[in-house]
Structure 1
Amino acid sequence: MLALLKEKETISVILGISFGIIARIMMLRTDYRQYPTYPHGKVIHVSLGVIAAGLGAVAVPALLHKNYTAITFLTVAAQQFRDVRNMERQTLSQVDEMELVSRGKTYIEGIAMVFEGRNYLVIFCAFLASLFSSLFQWYWGIAAGLISLLIAKKLQSGRNLGQIADIQIAPIKLDGPDLYVGDIYIMNVGLTDDQRIIQEQAMGFLIIPKNKNVKVTIANLGQRQAILHNLTTILGVYRDEGEPTLLPMAKLDLKTGNLAVFMLPREKDEQIALQVAKSVPVLENAVRLPSESAATKK
């Protein structure tokens, strides 16, 4: 009987670790931002995922044996994952100084928070698979593991700009030295060469918020910088260091709350540009909900 119990615990731990590792690999991908880098960045995060999976899987037998002191190592793990968040923040901040169009502090903080949170999702998947394998049969552990993967996949994806605002191409206008995107003033362009480049290469977007919550969200400087960074990362940017006039910009229409975006892409394709703009992530740290205020409801 004892041998069967130990064998069941071994199976539950193996299943827990397996589903935890699968969850981390499933949530880890190198996209257009080239982050995490391949292969070294991926090796770091997969290794941390293995550790998180082991913690989640081993916690179940410890609880079933009433070894509550063993659970305290989870607090140590939480501290380690917070250190991971700090590491990502510092790394991205250093790299950001070399970008032609920076990510911005809000975007960096969001990425760092995501990498910390995904380790906790790995612990959740491993814990759930291990728990059901221990309490019931091994195939229930597999079923619970598969459900936890679906939950983790759902929690991995956030909202994008196209879901909260209407985005459309806006004409670029030069009224003498004054540059406009639609009817929204952007800046003064004094040099003739810069005016010529803008007329040839520039592209403008108008982002129209769907409600008053979105107006406050897109007004956030960090969210604006994320929009500019994503657009220039995918479409390229027609500028070099030391050319402030050609720097992409986003300006608000103070009356309506609409956001005008000015940029000079390497690839001037309006349809692709619209799709890129719609796929810009909405940063968690930039979201504001003034409609939830008690004063507003009254």
Structure 2
Amino acid sequence: MMSKIVSNPMILPIIIGFTAGLVCRLLMLRTDYRQYPTYPHGRIIHIALGVIASLLGTVFVPSLLKQEYTAITFITLAAQQFRDVRNMERNTLNEIDKHELVPRGGTYIEGIAMVFEGRNYMVILTSLVSTFATVFFSWWGGIIAAVLIILLALKLKTGNNLHHIAEIVPANVVVDGRNLLVEDIYIMNVGSTDAQRQLSTHGMGFILVPKNDNAVVTLAHPGQRQAILHDASTILGVYTDEGEPSLTPLIKRDLKTGRLGVFLLPMSKDEDMAMKVLSSVPILESAIRMPKKAQAKKRDGG
């Protein structure tokens, strides 16, 4: 039995394709400050899904070469299953979000769910391409193809961050009577004297200046603003508790210029760290807007 398996000419392409897909998934899987996927059980779920995706991409090639076209049906069914994974992630994160002091928001959650679905498809593609390359160009072709597509996957893994579309400028927190401002941008009304004192003591302010018209519209998106608050509060901590509506990090927009006033309540007022955190906030795919391209099409008569 073992000799038949070893002598099978497809065994080497299958091993290389499966290994490439699994390595691709492991490299794209990490638990960071967002604490998702959780460790270890959340990781086990996603590694198991990565194994399934890698097997699907690998066995598709031998099935196709043997003219067993029903393999296409299995790939289609797998796509449906991975869409269910996206729904699972969305539901899980929505439940978790109910208990966050500073929630992620629906746009952020949808982005995370979409990423986990897309990465399974990337694993299938990695296994498929690596297996094909091994069949047609021997083992060295499969390894080269695997390395190239894994590098592509790692490049697609990271998108733009906040510093790509906006300048981040430290700003003063001003408590003017009952009005709380970051520089000249109004944040909220604070009636309690004790709350005014705490906001003045623990608050930090920043101004986000958009770099172009596209950035103005993207930063205006409520989901993107909520993502900024969530990431900053997760890493820096937040000086608040349930039932404290006055002690709330907020972002407000200057309607004339498109600038954003960011008011944070970190546990430790470290301006340099806060700048680094804000710079690394991801730009959500669902929040990206490009009105300049639409204007260019109109000018061209499109």
Q: TM-score range by the shorter chain?
A: over 0.9
Check if 1:177 corresponds to 2:185: no
Aligned residue in 1 for 2:290: 289
Aligned residue in 2 for 1:120: 121
Aligned pairs for 1:86-235 (under 5 A) are 86-235=87-236
Does the 8 Å CA contact 1:158/1:281 hold for their aligned counterparts?
A: yes
Whichever residue aligns with residue 283 of structure 1, its letter is L
User: What CA deviation, in whole Å up to 9, does each residue of 1:70-101 have, x standing for no partner?
Assistant: 22100000000000000000000001000000
The structural deviation recorded for 1:220 is 0.3
Aligned residue in 2 for 1:22: 23
Does the 8 Å CA contact 1:158/1:282 hold for their aligned counterparts?
A: yes
The structural deviation recorded for 1:161 is 0.4
Distance in 2 between the 1:275 and 1:95 partners? Answer: 26
SS in 2 for 1:68: coil
SS in 1 for 2:70: helix
Whichever residue aligns with residue 139 of structure 1, its letter is W
The structural deviation recorded for 1:296 is 6.2
Distance in 1 between the 2:110 and 2:291 partners? Answer: 22
Calculate the TM-score normalised by the size of structure 1.
0.97
Across the aligned residues of Structure 1 and Structure 2, the Cα RMSD in angstroms comes to: 1.4
Stretch deviating more after TM superposition (60-69 or 24-33): 60-69
Distance in 2 between the 1:243 and 1:296 partners? Answer: 51
SS in 2 for 1:213: helix
Aligned pairs for 1:217-296 (under 5 A) are 217-293=218-294, 294-295=297-298
Does the 8 Å CA contact 1:12/1:141 hold for their aligned counterparts?
A: yes
Distance in 2 between the 1:287 and 1:237 partners? Answer: 27
Aligned pairs for 1:65-80 (under 5 A) are 65-80=66-81
Distance in 1 between the 2:261 and 2:205 partners? Answer: 7
Distance in 2 between the 1:236 and 1:136 partners? Answer: 53
Give structure 1 stretches of 5+ with no counterpart: none
Whichever residue aligns with residue 122 of structure 1, its letter is V
Does the 8 Å CA contact 2:5/2:11 hold for their aligned counterparts?
A: no
Distance in 2 between the 1:91 and 1:280 partners? Answer: 22
Does the 8 Å CA contact 1:81/1:119 hold for their aligned counterparts?
A: yes
Calculate the TM-score normalised by the size of structure 2.
0.95
The structural deviation recorded for 1:6 is 6.2
Runs of 4+ in 1 over 6 A off after TM superposition: 3-6
Q: 1:143 to 1:271 in 2, by over 3 A?
A: same
The structural deviation recorded for 1:286 is 0.3
Does the 8 Å CA contact 1:8/1:133 hold for their aligned counterparts?
A: no
The structural deviation recorded for 1:7 is 3.0
- Identity of matched residues, %: 56
Distance in 1 between the 2:72 and 2:135 partners? Answer: 17
The structural deviation recorded for 1:4 is 11
Whichever residue aligns with residue 295 of structure 1, its letter is K
Q: 1:182 to 1:296 in 2, by over 3 A?
A: farther
Q: 1:297 to 1:259 in 2, by over 3 A?
A: farther
SS in 1 for 2:8: helix
SS in 2 for 1:136: helix
The structural deviation recorded for 1:5 is 11
SS in 1 for 2:130: helix
Aligned pairs for 1:9-88 (under 5 A) are 9-88=10-89
Distance in 2 between the 1:87 and 1:190 partners? Answer: 42
Q: 1:257 to 1:122 in 2, by over 3 A?
A: same
Does the 8 Å CA contact 2:57/2:128 hold for their aligned counterparts?
A: yes
The structural deviation recorded for 1:295 is 3.0
SS in 2 for 1:197: helix
Q: 1:141 to 1:33 in 2, by over 3 A?
A: same
Count of paired positions = 296
SS in 2 for 1:244: coil
